[in-house]
Structure formats: structure tokens, C-alpha cells
């Protein structure tokens, strides 16, 4: 159905919630999955569970990314590794946090795309890249100054990469999820005074699950989306449409 059988796909952030859910679905679809992240124990556990190949590397280091991506005969990439940053306004932001959000969410994803797409072009078999962005890139959310900037820049990378790589039959898309109630999200969105007004403005009126995000990632990676490139797809229960 997805045409991913036997295809090699790198998923960064595979030691996290959305990345691991994506790995599970890609393995079910028959892909050979390389699971990126830093936490080797979590990647080993995911490998035991799914049969994916642990592939740890650091998204803040160009050398680490180049070494990790070179030599993999990739057809697909999911740039899912990410850093949530801080809750701050433009008046009180810690610029070191801004730099870290850009380093991981934007620069890291661009470097993975750079080295992966070089190899994909060389192989000449096309491919597909999905960047895990955020609803925070599409609308203004309180307190999200650094994170939003890093993900909006990622959406720009998606569009320009789609333009540049289309001639090689490599598609590049973003998904822009709403909140998945992970530990990272709960300290903010789990507060009733923050979460309830937010959900009341969302037509589907619930938090997303990891699988809600992983399914559209697999769709955008595979053949069912063969004519789709350069989009930023909200997975947000309708929040950004209203």
C-alpha cells in the first residue's frame, strides 16, 4: 500500500514518543529502518521490539551527522529529533535556548537532509523526506518564541528542499502536529488554565496521540502521496483552521 517494502528509511528522534511510533509503523510497512537518537538503551529496546537498526548520533554535530548518514543507502528520511525549548516571550527569552532550538530542530534537520539527499541523488532512485514540524510554526502560541521560530524555519527548509530535489523525484514535506501529551508537553499543556481554553478552540477537542502523528508521516513518506511535495500538513484537530 505504501510501497515502502525493503526501502531504507532513517528516523531521527526514534528514542522519543513520536519517532518510536513512526518506527513501529514503518517496520510494519516493510521498511528497513535506521533508528536515530542519542539514548542507546532506548534505541536497543526499540530494536528488540521491532527489528529496526539502532543508529545513534548527535544532531548538534555536523561530523556526527555526516558519519552517521554517509554509507546508508537511504530511500527515505523522517527528521523527527527535536528540542522543546522554553516557555518565554520575546522580552524574557534566554538566547542560549533559542540557539539550541535552532541547532537541533533546524540546523540538525538541514544537515541530515544535506547528507541524505546527496546520497539519494547519487543513487538515482528518488525518495521521500518528512520533517516533523509543529502547529507552533503555523500560528502564534504564547510562550513559544524560540521553538516556533525553529519550526517555521524547518517549514521553509521543507519548501526549498521540495523545489530543489523535485527534479530527482525526491519529495519533501512537513507534518505540523498539535500537542501530544508526553512528559515534555504535560508541564505546560496539562495545566487546566492552559489546556482547557486551547482544546475548546479545537474542533476535535482532544490531544493527539503518537499514532495520530505517525500515520500521516508514513502516508507522506510512501506512494499514497506521490504527487504531494512542499506541504506543511497540520495534524491539529482543526486548530489552525479556525
Ligand X SMILES: NC(=O)c1ccc[n+]([C@@H]2O[C@H](COP(=O)([O-])OP(=O)(O)OC[C@H]3O[C@@H](n4cnc5c(N)ncnc54)[C@H](OP(=O)(O)O)[C@@H]3O)[C@@H](O)[C@H]2O)c1
Q: Which residues bind ligand X (CB under 6 A)?
A: 13-19, 37-39, 58-60, 80-83, 104, 132, 134, 177, 179-180, 182, 184-185
Q: How far is the CB of 116 from ligand X (least distance, A)?
A: 15
Question: Catalytic site residue 147?
Answer: yes
Cell of 228: 504531494
Closer residue to ligand X, CB minimum distance, 125 or 209: 209
Closer residue to ligand X, CB minimum distance, 32 or 146: 146
Q: How far is the CB of 33 from ligand X (least distance, A)?
A: 14
Residue 174's SS3 state is: strand
Write the CA distances from 148 to 9, 127, 176, 217, integer angstroms.
Answer: 27, 28, 11, 20
Residue 199's φ and ψ, nearest 5 degrees, are -65, -30
Cell of 236: 491539529
Closer residue to ligand X, CB minimum distance, 99 or 122: 99
Q: How far is the CB of 189 from ligand X (least distance, A)?
A: 7
Q: Which of 163, 153, 108, 115 is nearest to 133 (CA)?
A: 153
Which of the following is catalytic: 2, 34, 115, 147?
A: 147
In the block, residue with C-alpha cell 533559542: 98
Q: How far is the CB of 81 from ligand X (least distance, A)?
A: 4
Closer residue to ligand X, CB minimum distance, 140 or 227: 140
Question: Are the C-beta atoms of 130 and 217 separated by less than 8 Å?
Answer: yes
List the catalytic residues.
147
Amino acid at each position: 500500500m505504501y510501497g515502502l517494502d525493503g526501502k531504507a528509511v532513517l528516523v531521527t528522534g526514534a528514542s522519543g514518543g513520536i519517532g518510536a511510533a513512526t518506527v513501529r509503523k514503518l517496520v510494519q510497512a516493510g521498511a528497513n529502518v535506521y533508528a536515530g537518537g542519542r539514548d542507546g538503551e532506548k534505541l536497543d529496546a526499540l530494536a528488540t521490539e521491532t527489528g529496526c537498526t539502532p543508529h545513534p548520533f548527535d544532531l548538534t554535530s555536523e561530523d556526527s551527522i555526516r558519519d552517521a548518514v554517509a554509507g546508508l543507502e537511504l530511500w527515505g528520511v523522517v527528521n523527527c529529533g527535536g528540542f522543546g525549548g522554553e516557555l518565554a516571550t520575546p522580552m524574557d527569552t534566554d538566547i542560549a535556548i533559542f540557539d539550541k532550538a535552532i541547532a537541533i530542530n533546524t540546523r540538525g534537520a538541514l544537515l541530515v537532509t544535506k547528507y541524505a539527499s546527496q546520497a539519494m541523488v547519487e543513487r538515482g532512485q528518488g525518495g521521500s523526506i518528512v520533517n516533523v514540524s509543529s502547529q507552533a510554526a503555523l500560528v502564534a502560541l504564547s510562550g513559544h518564541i524560540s521553538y516556533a521560530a525553529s519550526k517555521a524555519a524547518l517549514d521553509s527548509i521543507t519548501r526549498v528542499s521540495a523545489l530543489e530535489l523535485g527534479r530527482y523525484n525526491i519529495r519533501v514535506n512537513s507534518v505540523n502536529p498539535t500537542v501530544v501529551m508526553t512528559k515534555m508537553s504535560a508541564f505546560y499543556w496539562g495545566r487546566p488554565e492552559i489546556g482547557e481554553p486551547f482544546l475548546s478552540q479545537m474542533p476535535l477537542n482532544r490531544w493527539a496521540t503518537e499514532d495520530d502523528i505517525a500515520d500521516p508521516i508514513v502516508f507522506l513518506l510512501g506512494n499514497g502521496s506521490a504527487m504531494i511535495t512542499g506541504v506543511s500538513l497540520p495534524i491539529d484537530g482543526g486548530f489552525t483552521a479556525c
